[in-house]
Chains A and B, each alone.
Chain A
Amino acid sequence: MNITGAQIIIETLIEQGCDTVFGYPGGFVLNIYDELYKQSDKIHHIITAHEQGAAHAADGYARVTGKVGVVIATSGPGATNLVTGIANAYLDSIPMVAITGNVPLALLGKDSFQEVDTTGITMPITKHNYIVKDVSELADVIREAFSIAKSGRPGPVLVDIPKDIQLQSFEYSPAPLAEEREPACPSDAALEKVARIIAESKKPYIYCGGGVIISGAGEEVAELSELIDSPIGFSMMGLSAVSSNNRNYLGMTGMHGRYASLKANSEADLIIAVGVRFSDRATGNKLRYSQKARIVHIDIDPAEIDKNIPAYYGLIGDIKVTLAGLLKKLDRQTHKEWQDEISVMREQEKSYLPKDTEMHPKDIIEKVMYYTDENTIIATDVGQHQMWASQFYRIKKPKTFLTSGGLGTMGFGMGAAIGGCIGSGCGRTLLITGDGSFGMNLNELATAVSNRLPLIVLVFNNGVLGMVRQWQTIFYDKRYSETNLERKTDFVKLADAFGADGFRAGNMNELDAALKKAFEMQTPVVIDCIIDKDERVLPMIPPGGSIENVIVN
């Protein structure tokens, strides 16, 4: 059957299992949007307020569903507005396909209206990208884009399609779902070697990262921890992999990790690192990182082994397959002394927790947990509120915690919450944000209202850029350069203006009342929650420091 390029794009998306796309129309994707109009019963398109929001929404959708998130934007500014969202997905290894229109082939390179070198701009922030110059290749390029996006270590793939390619016709016949490439599995000998290393350990520490969630290996990690009697610490990206109810759960490690998790990380004699990349925020000073430990590093990406921290032994493979193989080679272990040490660390951690403060962010998050359940999708923006959420929100299920890890994108939250909410089948979603981050992309409140999403936006409002201010307090002698926002924005009125509801919470009673009302509603609500501007995120390991430099109070 001969159909146009624009039709091929939509047919191929449907064929590849895509039923939801996020995007924004424009001059050079008009034909694609015309087909979306005709096929709206098969593909649901969500229009956002800004292409960045659409990219973050596709990202959030992928994080919740595990499917490839799809975003469509026009050429020029449409494509450049996607850039932050694509980079965010790249740094966090999120499967995404971005489709952009471009000027007709004959106008390429002529500085035409709304022309930019989209593939050139996105080359360093995509797993791969394409510009399609022959309609005969279009369907296969899109199929390959899906395959690359979800295979191995996932990531974003961009397909740039000039307008005339969208108009030309070519033979199309449906193809099956693009296969993920065969997951790699380490050899038996390698697994036995690791089993021996584990058997020699008296103080193991499992360091669980985002790769565990991608691979769906949370259960295997929990089983490993049970079998070898090991605590589990997490990178921020790995936080939802294992339920916080697990007896070995120590929570996040790294710059703002929980004390017991940090301490156990540095005292361990073996770190079993699964699906992590030892980011500088997680390790601090690499030369002083966990010097007592052997490190076994398990990852699907061979380039991660030895990249940031040299591994004692590297295992390259799909984490679920690898851990399943490893579990068979291990005998049960008990480490009573180590567990006793961990208990002491946990007690110490409790003694460092904030006490007797009104409206401490920890109290707010605990209050929130009273209303949420294990299926609630939690999204965050970037800053202090993100760290508090990572430290104190007790996540129960994988793929329910959406946060910008690698890129640290302020403004990620609104788009991600919208995409995550839609990905969950419009289930209850809560965005924990700050007044700084929310200010960056609050325009997407319009999208949440149009789609009647059950989204609660909880703004930790301190009137300052809290995380930057915290650094200025500690490292810049309290010179608060440009971090006192002094804005007059009224978030309650703002919510009203967007067609949402807004409440203000200046104390715990007001917060409780606001949350109660918000959770009874099924439409977007903004809660402006006033917190102290001098509240700091603790513990904190200063950049380039190690556990010896930890600031606890």
Chain B
Amino acid sequence: MKDKQFILGVLVANHAGVLTRISGLFSRRNYNIDSLNVAETENPKLSRMTIIARGDEYIKAQIEKQLAKLHDVKKVEILPLDDTVIREHLLIKIKVTKQTRSEIVESVNIFRGKVVDFNIDSVTVEITGESTKLDAFIKFAAEFGIIEMCRAGAVAVRRGIAPLSDENEFLD
């Protein structure tokens, strides 16, 4: 039984307390969350969560089924890793000097990132991508000195036209 990461797409009712319900379920049933992202969808009644969790096949099946039982959860799906677009977002503030400035800016371009703030002694860079790409940039930035950083949990959608749900399902 090996622990593996997996990604859940979850549609939930968009009201107060839902995040507590979901995170509470994970803690009381002893499941681990690696990352969780939540925001309103195009339908204001629904929020969409992207949860990255970890566990063996047993845990994976249990998480899916236990989530589906919650009244506020409208749809749960385990997204296939090989057929899903997964993105993370990074904002990172790096120390710069006259000597290092151009090297850093050049590397930002290579990573297809963007400089969003620029000062004498620091630059703030925005990068989007899969987590391995972000890891690579963080490692690079560390050489120059990371002042601070924050990283948003992954968001994920399946490739192809099929959505997590038919939005009309929930228009009551």
- CB atoms of A127 and B68 under 8 A apart: no
Bound Cα distance A209, B69 (Å): 21
A460: min CB distance to chain B, Å: 35
- CB atoms of A303 and B24 under 8 A apart: no
Partner of A119, one of B17, B28, B62: B17
B12: min CB distance to chain A, Å: 13
A-side contacts of B70, CB under 8 Å: 128
- CB atoms of A301 and B69 under 8 A apart: yes
A395: min CB distance to chain B, Å: 30
Question: How many chain-A residues does the 8 Å CB contact rule pick out?
Answer: 13
B170: min CB distance to chain A, Å: 15
Q: A125's closest neighbor in chain B, by CB?
A: B28
Partner of A124, one of B24, B62, B68: B24
- CB atoms of A302 and B28 under 8 A apart: no
B-side contacts of A510, CB under 8 Å: none
Chain A stretch 99-143: residues in CB contact (< 8 A) with chain B = 119-120, 123-124, 127-128, 131
- CB atoms of B17 and A303 under 8 A apart: no
- CB atoms of A307 and B62 under 8 A apart: yes
- CB atoms of A303 and B69 under 8 A apart: yes
A123: min CB distance to chain B, Å: 6
Chain B stretch 59-106: residues in CB contact (< 8 A) with chain A = 61-62, 65-66, 68-72
Any B CB within 8 A of the CB of A148: yes
- CB atoms of B71 and A128 under 8 A apart: yes
- CB atoms of B65 and A123 under 8 A apart: no
Partner of A303, one of B20, B28, B66: B66
Known: A127-B71, A301-B69, A303-B69. A120 touches B20 (CB 8 A): yes
Partner of A306, one of B24, B28, B61: B61
Known: A127-B71, A128-B71, A148-B71. A302 touches B24 (CB 8 A): no
Partner of A302, one of B17, B20, B68: B68
Any A CB within 8 A of the CB of B21: yes
Bound Cα distance A470, B71 (Å): 42
Most-contacted residue by chain A among B28, B58, B65 (CB, 10 A)? B65
A-side contacts of B61, CB under 8 Å: 306
Q: A310's closest neighbor in chain B, by CB?
A: B58
A-side contacts of B69, CB under 8 Å: 301, 303
B169: min CB distance to chain A, Å: 15
Known: A119-B17, A306-B58, A306-B61. A124 touches B28 (CB 8 A): yes
Q: B65's closest neighbor in chain A, by CB?
A: A303
Bound Cα distance A131, B71 (Å): 14
Bound Cα distance A148, B38 (Å): 25
- CB atoms of B24 and A123 under 8 A apart: yes
A-side contacts of B28, CB under 8 Å: 124
A133: min CB distance to chain B, Å: 8
Bound Cα distance A303, B25 (Å): 13
B-side contacts of A303, CB under 8 Å: 62, 65-66, 68-69
Bound Cα distance A148, B69 (Å): 11
- CB atoms of B65 and A302 under 8 A apart: yes
Bound Cα distance A303, B20 (Å): 21
- CB atoms of B20 and A123 under 8 A apart: yes
B57: min CB distance to chain A, Å: 10
Chain B stretch 19-78: residues in CB contact (< 8 A) with chain A = 20-21, 24, 28, 58, 61-62, 65-66, 68-72
B4: min CB distance to chain A, Å: 18
Please, what's the 1-or-0 string for A331-369, where 1 marks a CB less than 8 Å from any CB in chain B? Answer: 000000000000000000000000000000000000000
Bound Cα distance A120, B24 (Å): 10
B60: min CB distance to chain A, Å: 11
Bound Cα distance A307, B58 (Å): 8
B-side contacts of A301, CB under 8 Å: 69
Q: B58's closest neighbor in chain A, by CB?
A: A306
B124: min CB distance to chain A, Å: 35
B71: min CB distance to chain A, Å: 4
Chain A stretch 294-311: residues in CB contact (< 8 A) with chain B = 301-303, 306-307
A-side contacts of B72, CB under 8 Å: 128
Most-contacted residue by chain A among B20, B62, B68, B71 (CB, 10 A)? B71
B22: min CB distance to chain A, Å: 11
A23: min CB distance to chain B, Å: 24
- CB atoms of A123 and B21 under 8 A apart: yes
Bound Cα distance A148, B20 (Å): 20
B168: min CB distance to chain A, Å: 20
Chain A stretch 152-205: residues in CB contact (< 8 A) with chain B = none
B122: min CB distance to chain A, Å: 38
Bound Cα distance A131, B18 (Å): 12
B23: min CB distance to chain A, Å: 10
Bound Cα distance A306, B62 (Å): 9
Q: A123-B17, A301-B69, A303-B62 are in contact. List 15 more A-B contacts (CB 8 A).
A: A119-B17, A120-B20, A123-B24, A124-B24, A124-B28, A127-B71, A148-B71, A302-B65, A303-B65, A303-B66, A303-B68, A303-B69, A306-B58, A306-B61, A307-B62
20 contacts between A and B (CB under 8 A): A123-B17, A123-B21, A123-B24, A124-B24, A124-B28, A127-B71, A128-B70, A128-B71, A128-B72, A148-B71, A301-B69, A302-B65, A303-B62, A303-B65, A303-B66, A303-B68, A303-B69, A306-B58, A306-B61, A307-B62
Q: 6 closest pairs, A vs B, by CB?
A: A303-B65, A128-B71, A124-B28, A303-B66, A302-B65, A123-B24
